[in-house]
Structure 1
């Protein structure tokens, strides 16, 4: 009998295979490509937030030695270059389709946000392109701009687009307003407040970049760029922008230094380098510097929610009203109209509320488009319900913990229809919350609070419970694809449609391959990020890869086992029924005869086995039975110095339910990263525009504050593995849960600490300056509700 290999298994705490490559500087990013005869591009961006273009003076720039071409909208129009389209439509209040602005690659005749692309300079080197871009004079007749939601929805607000006089792009109503009205009429308590979620920017470590190619002989394009969804990007750019078949564009997406949703969207520069490469018949490269990123990247979050919660005299929830205004920006991002509506079901949280009246308004503003950012609508929904519960607890005189417990959906109610778009597949919310509270030792919090008080500090504890959708949409979950091939030496190659950019796919998918096929991890490679290798895939976002792509790997594995039994029966001259498969080996029942799958594949590839019509290769396209609902309870403790307003996060605890855990180390890393981004938004990060001119005031890391490593406490977490019935191994997803619950957990903790001083919660982000000011103002009457 052959010696067995040691495959990785589901649940192993295996260190990531890909880390050695990254830590030794051997990652391959877009800009690591050595391209012959490449030209360099720079974008000329608008210095104004709104206005009409009077003229573009290119004369001086064109005379500069080394300048190859300068592209403007007129050239795009002449070359029949199309516009970027949103992936979906919504309806306006009157039932008509939403207005979608022409998202052209370069500004047409007017400007709609600071940083909008007006021209692209192409030169022999990057410094010449930069110099030439600074020589171009754009004359603009400046018009009034609206950069904030409140400005945009005012009755006399300037119009972002002439075609939409109200600046309201769409209105989506969910729930049942009649039943909700009745619930509110019978309520003993109605708690109301308004919450503002600040605008942020993803700022991945690797800025966006792209290299475009055009082959004149074949008429085909190639784009090298860091994207989470190569196939979706290909389809959009090919059909709508370039006007060619999807098969005429190949996307190659190598290693990515962070995506976070930003790199799932179609953005102007991707189309620009492809168009330019065809015009010049040579490769064209564009790389954003950090300042260019602040101006050119799509932004995230930015909404206002008016929230009302109805309760009876015993503290049970009766109904929830939410009127939400979501900034869209000047143009509609690929996914914008999805994230603002499809993930709002998170308003239900783990609670049995029953009656909902939710209205979502998409608002045009003279700002960068809003794109997905880790959580993509989920943190905003969770913020609304978890903040209003904390506020309600003070009014009804029930602790935040007890109020949550009292209204939680029981595990025996699963599957549970929330009444607001979601049907939860599984879960034990009380178990998860109790696990988090025990881990955080909440029963002794009052002792820690007293100790802090003696030191002149304010200690606060914040709790949040986040339930999010993953592997969606509900009832029609998206598919993913996987292809498993064996080489002539018997090594396995797994090609997937999902893209790995920090999720640990090269490790996790080896674990799945080890579980299903017993593959040797050292003889297995994971391949992704090339639309010519797999034609029909979706990509990585929404905590979907392990379950959705894992299902495709499982289906392909079962096909390989089926084929392998036929081949092995021929090899051992026995019947198929006598062949078993276990731990990567095909075995003959009742004997010691066996052959490892790698060796069987090697014999097949080298034609040492007669059945040439068979092979051990397989392709599968699969999707989960339905979506899943990972969930987690967060507990955060903060300490505030009243003299300075400084906030220190003393402790952070988490209990999660992501189904069965594929890899505990990867899971921990996903939660730590997500929590860090949530803390960053709560305490530090904010995109700010000048209210009158629309100028970006936070255009660099000098002004836009990021958290540092020493701003985070040790994060303690525990897993409550409650499997989903909808996926392989009961996986639920884990990529975003850390962010979804952490923003509001931190805000609730700060609110709890400030309560001791009679102060209200400042606006997000809760900087030291804002805390200091609100504590100073408390002596003059303080503030009612949250500061806006």
Structure 2
């Protein structure tokens, strides 16, 4: 595909949205204020597993200010369908397994702590909270399991009758027997069982929803959400409505990371209540509620083996997942599978087998979180390479170089799912080694030892599938209109959720039409004003959304040339567009963009674009992390971090660097501090606040050094590959490899995340709970 020639890359621009946001002028779902606003509060189960004998709402209904109290009986009476995120998986033996039934309010059996049992609507938040205390629920508490090991143990409580062994799905690719034979025949086989721990997205802005009925009797839901069109379609299905009969609006969003992209119970119930009562209803999760109700992420047990020949060339790879999917199965539970192909890495491994088993537990369902299976896949192969390097006494950097796919092999079809269109992996490694001063590490390690510290270095070569899971890209939409007053209106399916897209997408329009960026009105997140679109996710905003905008501009310019040719009495083929003017080639006769927009009249000078790539792009890179550990306290300090990325053509380098910083910060949080913990036997949440769930702070993070190695893709007109999830994909493996490298001198072979001071100290001193 031919790349845009009227786009300048590598530009330094200021984020146009920053002034508005930093001045407190952003508009979030929580800022929606309507006359007669009612507040919603949910009655949640205090048990992770229980049979509901009865629900008595009479006292709550009589409380001051209460407008209504709803249970599942009300939903059933009104014909509301069960919450649905369709999926089609298979259990062992090929038995089909579909999404498990999930009513918006629990029908008869609670399956995780905090499940909503009733909904109270009152005139004020305080009144709603008081009334919620009056709802009497008679529970018969049952045994609960919180981990994969507990769930598959003999005699474990069964979550669903259709899965008596608590296995939700089984997926595999490759020939297991052939791979095991290749591993047995290898000169050396590195084996490791390890985990990608359970975490929560915890965006700065918690989930929120405001439902109301407009003057035309159409219900509207204003949400903190990243894919409003998907939510509209899901609500239409749930309530048996035509999509055009409702509206979903998402304006500024204070972080989402994948968690705010599925059909979720609370938002759908706010919609139900507002529609039924014909009153505005507002719900905002507090942080404690978020810990109970937000979908969790990761939580994968990984068992892997890598075979090597005498010279250190990879011969075979096997990776087995046991995924804790929580209490319900849905399409969102499958994100580890959708991006499982990343275990192939950037290496010439001739034979690969991968399998994933999804396990039900009495915990919140798991769902995509920044990277959505990509960080786990990269962690699987990259951690295993370091183990092999240590066991074979080969430098881990050299071992990776020895097995890289060369650029001349592109396009390269891996033995496991993915086909890479382009890339120069060696170039990225060389640049990262230079910036990290890899050759000088031995001296720094020696100096640290002299000071009584443990120094370690970790490498990871991440590669991720962007723009769609299961190697199947989605479609995005844009519509661009030039107006007679010189302004331009951009309606984009790609929506900004804090990463600077308001500027990036507008800059594409500004450059191609030669108009000031401030003259562009960026419209997004409103299903009435933008007819369709992907929203945000999968590192696809520029690959799909930006490309759709470019196609829309192409069509706008085609129309403009026809109008200009007619006015200038010239052939359309003689009209060119440059510097914001339609001109007869070789003459000074021209019309401005605004002039031609005026000629268009009521029809308007506009163009719509829709774009889908024939296959995904594959952003890749090399990350090198360096840590220092205090053996007396177990404290890990990240002293240096280098992230080199190939995200294709780079439109705005500062924005790319910001995405890398943010992604790595979240990866370091998982590697060093964050962990959701449930009590054994009851599945009670033990990390239900920031007192126990440790989020990284600015002081915990190092100075980041970032660079780009540009290998443009031909799969889209902008030549971009995507960047939103790159930092988490590389950061997790690089950080954990650095920690384990530092601990190697103490005899520790591996340490599972998070590497908290206590865990590190115990590992160094050989105590249980460490290595």
Separation in 1 of the partners of 2:445 and 2:592?
Answer: 61
* Residue number among 473, 494, 498 corresponding to 1:502 in the alignment: 498
Deviations 1:514-544 (A, max 9, x none): 3332232121121100111222322210000
- The answer to whether the 8 A contact 1:9-1:511 is kept is no
Separation in 1 of the partners of 2:629 and 2:758?
Answer: 12
Separation in 2 of the partners of 1:616 and 1:443?
Answer: 58
Matched, 1:604 2:599: yes
- The answer to whether the 8 A contact 1:479-1:623 is kept is yes
Alpha-carbon offset, residue 125 of structure 1: 0.5
Residues 760 and 182 of structure 1: CA distance in aligned 2, closer, same or farther (over 3 Å): closer
Alpha-carbon offset, residue 176 of structure 1: 2.6
Residues 597 and 66 of structure 1: CA distance in aligned 2, closer, same or farther (over 3 Å): same
Residue 228 of structure 2 corresponds to: 230
Structure 1 segment 133-212 matched on structure 2, within 5 A: 133-212=132-211
Alpha-carbon offset, residue 413 of structure 1: 0.5
Residue 392 of structure 1 corresponds to: 388
Matched, 1:536 2:532: yes
Separation in 1 of the partners of 2:592 and 2:661?
Answer: 39
Separation in 2 of the partners of 1:672 and 1:475?
Answer: 26
Matched, 1:131 2:130: yes
Residue 56 of structure 1 corresponds to: 55
- The answer to whether the 8 A contact 2:346-2:425 is kept is yes
* 3-state SS, counterpart of residue 338 of structure 2: coil
Residue 742 of structure 2 corresponds to: 753
* 3-state SS, counterpart of residue 97 of structure 2: coil
Separation in 1 of the partners of 2:716 and 2:609?
Answer: 16
Which has the larger displacement, 485-494 or 301-310?
A: 485-494
Which has the larger displacement, 615-624 or 511-520?
A: 511-520
Separation in 2 of the partners of 1:248 and 1:564?
Answer: 35
Separation in 1 of the partners of 2:491 and 2:98?
Answer: 40
Alpha-carbon offset, residue 417 of structure 1: 0.5
Separation in 1 of the partners of 2:416 and 2:582?
Answer: 49
Separation in 2 of the partners of 1:334 and 1:373?
Answer: 14
Structure 2 residue ranges without an equivalent (≥5): 1-5
- The answer to whether the 8 A contact 1:9-1:514 is kept is no
Which has the larger displacement, 734-743 or 495-504?
A: 495-504
Residue 595 of structure 1 corresponds to: 591
Residue 279 of structure 1 corresponds to: 276
Residue 74 of structure 2 corresponds to: 75
Separation in 1 of the partners of 2:752 and 2:136?
Answer: 39
Alpha-carbon offset, residue 271 of structure 1: 1.1
* 3-state SS, counterpart of residue 438 of structure 1: helix
- The answer to whether the 8 A contact 2:66-2:127 is kept is yes
* 3-state SS, counterpart of residue 209 of structure 2: strand
Structure 1 segment 493-572 matched on structure 2, within 5 A: 493-572=489-568
Separation in 1 of the partners of 2:127 and 2:683?
Answer: 30
- The answer to whether the 8 A contact 1:324-1:359 is kept is yes
Deviations 1:359-382 (A, max 9, x none): 110111100010110000001111
Structure 1 segment 619-638 matched on structure 2, within 5 A: 619-638=608-627
Separation in 2 of the partners of 1:458 and 1:263?
Answer: 40
- The answer to whether the 8 A contact 2:457-2:627 is kept is yes
Which has the larger displacement, 488-497 or 737-746?
A: 488-497
Residue 741 of structure 1 corresponds to: 730
Residue 715 of structure 1 corresponds to: 704
Separation in 2 of the partners of 1:475 and 1:637?
Answer: 33
Residues 576 and 105 of structure 1: CA distance in aligned 2, closer, same or farther (over 3 Å): same
- The answer to whether the 8 A contact 1:519-1:597 is kept is no
- The answer to whether the 8 A contact 2:484-2:595 is kept is no
* 3-state SS, counterpart of residue 498 of structure 1: coil
* 3-state SS, counterpart of residue 730 of structure 1: coil
Residue 427 of structure 1 corresponds to: 423
Separation in 2 of the partners of 1:384 and 1:476?
Answer: 23
* 3-state SS, counterpart of residue 692 of structure 1: coil
Which has the larger displacement, 755-764 or 120-129?
A: 755-764
* 3-state SS, counterpart of residue 269 of structure 1: helix
Residue 585 of structure 1 corresponds to: 581
Residue 3 of structure 2 corresponds to: none
Separation in 1 of the partners of 2:667 and 2:579?
Answer: 41
Separation in 2 of the partners of 1:583 and 1:18?
Answer: 26
* 3-state SS, counterpart of residue 463 of structure 1: strand
- The answer to whether the 8 A contact 1:214-1:220 is kept is yes
Separation in 1 of the partners of 2:446 and 2:544?
Answer: 49
Alpha-carbon offset, residue 488 of structure 1: 4.3
Deviations 1:385-430 (A, max 9, x none): 0111101111112111111111111111001011110000100111
- The answer to whether the 8 A contact 1:656-1:720 is kept is yes
Deviations 1:191-228 (A, max 9, x none): 1110111111101000101111235x855321110111
Separation in 2 of the partners of 1:68 and 1:586?
Answer: 61
Residue 29 of structure 1 corresponds to: 28
Which has the larger displacement, 8-17 or 552-561?
A: 8-17
* Residue number among 763, 768, 774 corresponding to 2:752 in the alignment: 763
Alpha-carbon offset, residue 310 of structure 1: 1.1
Residue 3 of structure 1 corresponds to: none
Alpha-carbon offset, residue 99 of structure 1: 4.5
Matched, 1:672 2:661: yes
Structure 1 residue ranges without an equivalent (≥5): 1-6
Residue 451 of structure 1 corresponds to: 447
Separation in 2 of the partners of 1:333 and 1:738?
Answer: 27
Matched, 1:319 2:316: yes
Alpha-carbon offset, residue 174 of structure 1: 1.0
Separation in 1 of the partners of 2:375 and 2:197?
Answer: 12
Residues 568 and 385 of structure 1: CA distance in aligned 2, closer, same or farther (over 3 Å): same
Residue 467 of structure 1 corresponds to: 463
Give TM-score scaled by structure 2 length. Answer: 0.97
Separation in 1 of the partners of 2:154 and 2:716?
Answer: 49
Separation in 2 of the partners of 1:180 and 1:761?
Answer: 24
Residue 402 of structure 1 corresponds to: 398
- The answer to whether the 8 A contact 1:8-1:521 is kept is no
* 3-state SS, counterpart of residue 335 of structure 1: helix
* 3-state SS, counterpart of residue 105 of structure 1: coil
Residue 356 of structure 1 corresponds to: 352
Separation in 2 of the partners of 1:527 and 1:226?
Answer: 16
Matched, 1:269 2:266: yes
Residues 452 and 641 of structure 1: CA distance in aligned 2, closer, same or farther (over 3 Å): same
Q: How many corresponding residue pairs? A: 766
- The answer to whether the 8 A contact 1:93-1:170 is kept is yes
Separation in 2 of the partners of 1:368 and 1:472?
Answer: 24
Residue 212 of structure 2 corresponds to: 213
- The answer to whether the 8 A contact 2:325-2:358 is kept is yes
Deviations 1:720-777 (A, max 9, x none): 0001121123100000010011011111111011112223433311100111111122
Separation in 2 of the partners of 1:37 and 1:83?
Answer: 29
Residues 99 and 568 of structure 1: CA distance in aligned 2, closer, same or farther (over 3 Å): closer
